[in-house]
Structures are given as C-alpha cells and as structure tokens.
Amino acid sequence: MGESHSVVTRLIDALKIKVSDLNYKNWFAKVAWDYQESTSTMTIAVESRFIRDWLSDHYLELIRFELLSLTDREHDVQFKIEKKIERTLDLFAENQNPVPQAIGNVTTPENREDQPQLSEARQRPSLPHQDTPQRSLNGAVTGFNPKYRLDNFIVGSANQLVFAACQAVAHQPGRSYNPLFIYGQVGLGKTHLLNAIGLEILKNNRHAKIIYTTGERFTNEVISAIRYNKMFEFRQKYRDQCDVLLIDDIQFIAGKDRTMEEFFHTFNALYEMRKQIVLTSDKMPREMLNLEDRLRSRFSWGLTVDVGTPDFETRMAILRRKADEEKVKIGDDILSFIAENITTNVRELEGAFIRLVAFASLTRMTLTVEVAKDVLKNILPQMDIRLDVEKIQHEVASFYRLKIADLKSKRRHKNLAVPRQIAMYLCKTHLQVSFPELGQRFGGKDHTTVMHAVQKIRGCLDTDATLKEDIQKISSLLGIVS
C-alpha cells in the first residue's frame, strides 16, 4: 500500500479522465496493476494476449506519460498475462462490465483469441511494442511490432514518396538514402513505417543486426551508460554491432547535450561504414530547436521526406482495411462519415472506428450514420459534426434551386459557377478538408480550381453585398453562427 497504492489510484484517476468511458470499461476493467516503486516498474496483468497487444498499442504511451507526470520519473511498463485477474482495487466494482461479446460480424477480444482465421500478425506470438525489446537470432535488439508492415501501409498521394523511400531503404539498406529522415505530425504512420523497414530488412536477411529504438530510450541508455561506467559497451553496441539503426522520435534528444554528442559520434561511425540510418521526428531538422547544427546538417545529408496527411480516399482505404482486418462489416456511408470528420490523424481515425465497433457490440445497436454521430460526438467534442461536404452542397443547391449534380458538373455558366464557388468556399471555411479533396468531392476537379474559387469568393465578399447576404443566409440555414 502506501506510495505504490496511491500511484496506482492516481494513475487510474488520470486514465479515467483521458480515456473515454467506453474504452475504459472495455480495456481497463479487467486489469490488475502492480507498482514496484524501487525499480520504477508498473506491471499490468491482463487476461489475454489480445488485450495486452491492444493496451500496448493504444495506451502504453499514455500510461508512461501519466506515470512520468505523477512521479517525475521514467517508468518501465510491463505486461503479463494471467488467466484469472484479481482486480487491484475495489474501485473497479463499478467498472465490471465484461469485455463485449460478439454480435453479427463484430469480433471482440474474447472470441478473437481463438479464431482460426486470424491474420498472420495475430497468430504469431506478437512481440510487445516498445516496452521489452526482443532479441533476434544474433542477439541484436529488435522489438518490432508485427502489425506494422510495408504491405499493410496504405499508400496515397500524400505518402507515396515516403513509402517509396522506405521500400528503397528496406531493400537496399545503406545504398539508397542515408540517412532517411522521416518527419510528420503525430498519428500519420512514422512509427508504422520505421517498424516496417526493420521487419522487411529482417525478412530479407535474418542475420541483419538491427537496432530499433526511440530517441527517449537512446537518451536513457546514454544516461545509464555514463552512470554505470558502461560507455564502452554502449559504443560497441551502437557502432560496432549494428548494421541498421532505426530511431523513432529522434526529436527527443534535442537539447540533451551529452546524448547529442554520443549520437553524433554514433552517426559518423555508422555513416562511414555505410550502415543504414533511419530517423523519424515530428519536426523537420530545421524546425528542431536546441539541436546542434552539426546534427541538423547530418540529418539532411540523405533524404528528408514527410508523411503527409492522407486525403479522403486514403482515409477510406485505411478504414476499409481496418474493417477487413477486424472482420467487421460496416457500411461505406459510416466509413465515409468517419473519414470526412477525422482528417488529420490516422490514429484518431482508427480510434473512432474501434469505438464505433465496440459500441455496436456492447449495445447491439445497428450502426447508422446517426448513431455514429452520436457516439463520436463524445470522443471528439471539438469537431463540428453537424456539417459535412454533402450538407453544404445540399443547402447551397437548394438555395439556388439547383441540383447537387450541377455543383459537381463541369458546366461554367455563371448561374452554376457562382453557387459552386460558394459551396467550395463554405466547405473550405468550415470543414477540415484539403483543396485536392474538395476537388474530388466536387466532381473530380483540379485542386487549383477549388483554390481559385475560394479566393474569388473571399475577394468578392467585401464588395458584393448580394453575395455576402446569400452566404449569410445559407450559413444560417446550415446552423453556422457567424
């Protein structure tokens, strides 16, 4: 009890705030927490591999982050599987809902465990993600997540370059781009790609010595190597026993002088030996504050490429693949509703999908767009789900007594062109959609057409009173408060 008890209680409180009720009940209700203060380790006992993988994939970062904020210390978070879980605290009494049972085509953790048609990734004893690195044949640390592969990464216009670069590097490590520096915002697939490169290299060469780590773990290793006088071993590991170095979230080392120094020498040694280096970051090298210039310049020696935000079609493809993987039947109208409202983060896109599936399986309700709106409203209160491209098109068309098809057509008559431009303007102003995507949604037009339309309407607003008034009327019909 005492300190460890209160860390667990406070962690649970924090998780309850950050995780939606439903997800909390689904994933944390049957979990037992064991906190070992002396080793800064939190062990989480769960009932199945599936729950372990799920928690590890979706909540490990959050758990570590919360532990860090609660105690000001880094923690090791470990999972263990126990067939019968004794709940840590009675507090859980209110959360004893069972993990959902399957209905229809919806599969849930419990029945999934035994399904014969499991995907390859699930059949293999999966390697824990992030926490406890595994050792490959030759003893090099790997720790790959078998779910993040090149063959299940969906490629669209925004990420085709980065994908091609990853393929090239995976097939000819050290020979194409060195280093490969992948940057992009959170939730867009950087970790997926980095992991996939590692798996692919290992597939082609089982003896490849690959080190797959994160900027944070690298930093911790430097610190403990210094503290325990193990610099020699550290250098041997990173410089002499490494063919491929993959570091996720390298931005973490910025501002940490000793780590940057060590990384600099590691980089030089590997680079000279033509060993492949791949780094990911949430920022471009030149945007990374507190990064030494000599590192900044080295990061850009090879290829620097971003994982862009996927367009609507790519988001749909990701959701379809997810539905396939989870063996869930879900209508395209619902998928497109999700894809339309969650535009900037694939992790959130997947999260919304999972939430809907969990909801359907818990409540046994048939999913419709209406239901989806209701369910997602709670996890994404910031998004304006009252509006979407169709609604705007519909309202504009009916205001001008046109058909939606007229707005999507290529005809340029003024009676059509102006309403079309207004609709594009309203979409761009009130929804998070890119120009190319809007082009698609307006009958496959070029993104420059949409840009031009939006600029034109913006430009006319000050001078054209009728136009302004029309837009105000349509906006109020759409419930937009200006």
Residues that bind ligand ADP (CB under 6 A): 148, 153-154, 159, 184, 186-192, 318, 346-347, 350
How far apart are alpha carbons 129 and 53 in whole angstroms? 8
Residue with the CB atom nearest Mg ion in the bound state: 191
User: Based on C-alpha coordinates, what's the Rg of the chain?
Assistant: 25
Residue 263 neighbours by CB distance under 10 Å = 24
Contacts of 440 (CB under 8 A, 6+ apart): 311, 312, 313
Q: Assign 459 to helix, strand or coil.
A: helix
What does 188 bind: Mg ion, ligand ADP, none (CB cut-off 5 to 8 Å by kind)?
ligand ADP
> Could you give the count of Cα atoms lying within 13 Å of 83 in the half-sphere of its Cβ?
0
Contact 307/180 with Cβ under 8 angstroms? no
What does 148 bind: ligand ADP, Mg ion, none (CB cut-off 5 to 8 Å by kind)?
ligand ADP
What does 323 bind: ligand ADP, Mg ion, none (CB cut-off 5 to 8 Å by kind)?
none
Using the contact rule CB under 5 A, the part of the chain among 182-190, 214-222, 350-358, 441-449 near Mg ion is: 182-190
Q: Whole-number minimum distance, CB 248 to ligand ADP, in Å?
A: 7
Residue 480 neighbours by CB distance under 10 Å = 18
Q: Whole-number minimum distance, CB 400 to ligand ADP, in Å?
A: 38
Binding to Mg ion by CB under 5 A, coded x per residue (else -) over 185-224, reads -----xx---------------------------------
Nearest to 250 by CA among 187, 173, 191: 191
Pairing, β 32-36 against β 41-46: antiparallel
Q: Whole-number minimum distance, CB 254 to Mg ion, in Å?
A: 16
Complex with ligand ADP: residue 186 or 461, whichever CB lies closer: 186
How far apart are alpha carbons 58 and 150 in whole angstroms? 20
Complex with ligand ADP: residue 307 or 389, whichever CB lies closer: 307
Tell me the backbone φ, ψ of residue 371, rounded to 5 degrees: -60, -45
How far apart are alpha carbons 212 and 230 in whole angstroms? 20
What does 192 bind: Mg ion, ligand ADP, none (CB cut-off 5 to 8 Å by kind)?
ligand ADP
Residue 233 neighbours by CB distance under 10 Å = 13
Contact 221/208 with Cβ under 8 angstroms? no
Complex with ligand ADP: residue 4 or 345, whichever CB lies closer: 345
What does 245 bind: Mg ion, ligand ADP, none (CB cut-off 5 to 8 Å by kind)?
none
Complex with ligand ADP: residue 351 or 419, whichever CB lies closer: 351
Complex with Mg ion: residue 277 or 392, whichever CB lies closer: 277
Q: Which residue has the tokens 């280093």?
A: 179
Total residues at the site for Mg ion (CB under 5 A)?
2
- Helix 414-430 with 465-477: angle, nearest 10 deg: 60
Query: Is the bond leading into 173 cis (omega within 30 degrees of zero)?
Result: no
What does 419 bind: ligand ADP, Mg ion, none (CB cut-off 5 to 8 Å by kind)?
none
What does 187 bind: Mg ion, ligand ADP, none (CB cut-off 5 to 8 Å by kind)?
ligand ADP
Q: Whole-number minimum distance, CB 280 to ligand ADP, in Å?
A: 7
What does 461 bind: ligand ADP, Mg ion, none (CB cut-off 5 to 8 Å by kind)?
none
Complex with ligand ADP: residue 136 or 145, whichever CB lies closer: 145
* Interface positions, 56-115, toward Mg ion (CB under 5 A): none
Complex with Mg ion: residue 148 or 271, whichever CB lies closer: 148
Contacts of 101 (CB under 8 A, 6+ apart): 108, 110, 111, 361
Q: Whole-number minimum distance, CB 131 to Mg ion, in Å?
A: 15
How far apart are alpha carbons 262 and 274 in whole angstroms? 18
Complex with ligand ADP: residue 112 or 235, whichever CB lies closer: 112
Complex with ligand ADP: residue 146 or 189, whichever CB lies closer: 189
What does 209 bind: Mg ion, ligand ADP, none (CB cut-off 5 to 8 Å by kind)?
none
Q: Whole-number minimum distance, CB 191 to Mg ion, in Å?
A: 3
Contact 166/246 with Cβ under 8 angstroms? no
How far apart are alpha carbons 213 and 219 in whole angstroms? 10
Q: Whole-number minimum distance, CB 190 to Mg ion, in Å?
A: 5
Q: Whole-number minimum distance, CB 218 to Mg ion, in Å?
A: 15
Positive or negative, the Cα torsion across 120, 123, 128, 133? negative
Nearest to 450 by CA among 427, 478, 471, 480: 427
What does 180 bind: Mg ion, ligand ADP, none (CB cut-off 5 to 8 Å by kind)?
none
Interface residues with Mg ion (CB under 5 A)?
A: 190-191
